[in-house]
Amino acid sequence: MLEPQDNPNSKLMVDPPRVVRWLMARVMGRVASTERIHQQRGVFEAARVAAQRPHEIEYFHQLDDPYSHLMAQVLATFAERYDVTITPRLIRASGGKNQPESEKLAVWARRDAELIAPHYGLEFPAEAGVKPPASALVAAGAELAKQSSMSFIAQLQNVSDRLWSSSDSAPREGAQAVEYSSEPILQAALDVGSARIAELNHYSGASLYYGGEWYWGVDRLFHLEQRLRDLGACRTPDKPFLVPRPEIEVSDLDASQLQLHFYPSLNSPYTSIIFDRTVALAQACGIEFHHKPVLPMIMRGVAATQAKGRYIFFDTKREADFFGVPFGHHVTPIGTPTRQAYSLLPFAKAEGRDVEFLSALLRMAFAEGKGLHLKKNIRRGIELAGMEWAQAKQHFGSDDWRSMVEQHQIEMVEGMGLWGVPCYRLQGPSSEPDLEVWGQDRLWLVAKEIRRRTNLLKAR
């Protein structure tokens, strides 16, 4: 179904009135203000120095989280290289609206961790299951719960290695419930850690918290490293980041025998900063490109919370600044504006300008602060994409788009087992399985796989 009849998200989230769009723009504009972020950092550091406090970091480790296993492999080295005091905490999975589709999330995280690990110089055991066995989880957690902070950090990698390499950790397709009550010291540690991460309005394991900001997993560690280096808190400034973001370079390749399927959404902050870079990658290597927009998650009935929305917006701004992409002057196009914009997709596709059309809309909605609930701005999107409004307006508000977008969603959700955006599916050659990944921070992985597969074809 394109949109569920019983959406768990409120009407104000799915189809907000104009005044709510304006309020959301004001709030999220502050969240995504580079000037305000730097100002808040300055205030925090001034207070820290005045109180003679060290650089205090909290780390939240989820035992059955694959991303936490990757973080376990770098945490001790991070603690050595930086002048920081780390307080590690064990947590349970948050679940609920912050982590919907928990079983799918477990399967995806397991697969994704194995895909990215070697590119980051890390390891993830190929024989590991979706989750480690319950008995091993309890034993590993109890061992860590008894340690001081320094011992926890020092022993974490060995404990996590043993946990994810447990002999009875055969692949499984879903999450399993774990009973921790048999170990009171572990139960208490999980209670404290889970309460603390909830108090700080966050939800993900493998996360570091410093000075009011979150750094999730090895993917975001370089942002924290850069912040600490700017503060003079790095003991080895001559060394590279522990986990630098891989480069994206495919301009020397001929990938015309491969196919790239791209699943974006008009209301996705992450999509807005990677859309044009994805198109540029496809053009640079000549890959056969398939543009397949889907409805925003909230409209598809994927539960969401304000806390998660704020983190995503802040994180997108941080990523956008790193890549030099404009972002943050925003008016949400969720609901009716998305439906109206998508009503013009079949026309734009027939004109061969659907990619340019969505690019223009994303830029207006997330970088220029132009509300797509105003018909004149959708018209502007048509014109920026090189089409005539006189022709396009004949299709405005039609339902012709629905079957096309629904098919895209079926491919992504049912076919690939993914639900967030943007998503990528790389196909070819026939001897290779499809690469299916989720997230703007996986475009580098797509690029590396395009290179590997192109070289494979050249070698034949």
Q: The domain 42-230 is classified under which CATH number: 3.40.50.280, 3.80.30.20, 2.40.50.140, 3.40.30.10?
A: 3.40.30.10
**Residue ranges covered by each domain of the chain:** 42-230, 259-458
Cβ contact 147:155 at 8 Å: yes
d(CA 85, CA 285) in angstroms, rounded, equals: 45
**Which helix (H) or strand (E) element contains residue 261?**
strand 259-263
Task: Give one word for 232, left, alpha or beta, with left for phi > 0 and alpha for psi -120 to 50.
Answer: left
- Judge whether 42-230 and 259-458 match in fold: yes
Task: List Cα–Cα distances, 85 to 45, 149, 215, 236, in angstroms.
Answer: 15, 9, 16, 16
CB atoms within 10 A of CB 292: 18
Q: Report the pLDDT value the prediction gives residue 102, as an integer from 0 to 100.
A: 81
* First CA to last CA distance, the chain: 43
Residue listed under structure tokens 């694959």: 66
From the list 418, 425, 422, the residue with the least C-alpha distance to 439 is 422
Report the distance separating Cα 320 and Cα 322, nearest Å: 5
Q: Between β-strands 259-263 and 288-291, what pairing exists: parallel, antiparallel or unpaired?
A: parallel
7: nearest Cα among 335, 309, 402: 335
Res 167: pLDDT: 53
Helix or strand or coil: residue 291?
strand
3-state secondary structure of 323: helix
- DSSP codes of every residue in 384-443: HTT--HHHHGGGTT-STHHHHHHHHHIIIIIIT---SSSEEEEE--TTSPPEEEESGGGH
pLDDT at 101 (0 to 100): 76
Domain 259-458 has CATH 3.40.30.10: yes
Q: What is the pLDDT of residue 151?
A: 98
Reading the chain (460 residues) residue by residue, the pLDDT tens digits are: 799 989 999 888 999 999 999 999 999 999 999 999 999 999 999 999 999 999 999 999 999 999 999 999 999 999 999 999 999 999 999 877 778 778 889 999 999 999 999 999 999 999 999 999 999 999 999 999 999 999 999 999 999 999 999 855 444 444 455 777 778 999 999 999 999 999 999 999 999 999 999 999 999 999 999 999 999 999 999 999 999 999 999 999 999 999 999 999 999 999 999 999 999 999 999 999 999 999 999 999 998 888 899 999 999 999 999 999 999 999 999 999 999 999 999 999 999 999 999 999 999 999 999 999 999 999 999 999 999 999 999 999 999 999 999 999 999 999 999 999 999 999 999 999 999 999 999 999 999 999 999 999 998 7
User: β-strand 84-90 against 213-216: which pairing, if any?
Assistant: unpaired
Distance, in Å, from the CA atom of 110 to the CA atom of 119, rounded to the nearest integer, reads 16
Residues in Cβ contact with 275 at an 8 Å cutoff, skipping those fewer than 6 apart = 264, 358, 359, 362, 422
Task: Give the amino acid at 62.
Answer: Q
- Give DSSP secondary structure letters for 90-145: E-----GGGS-SHHHHHHHHHHHHHHHGGGGT----TT--SS--HHHHHHHHHHHH
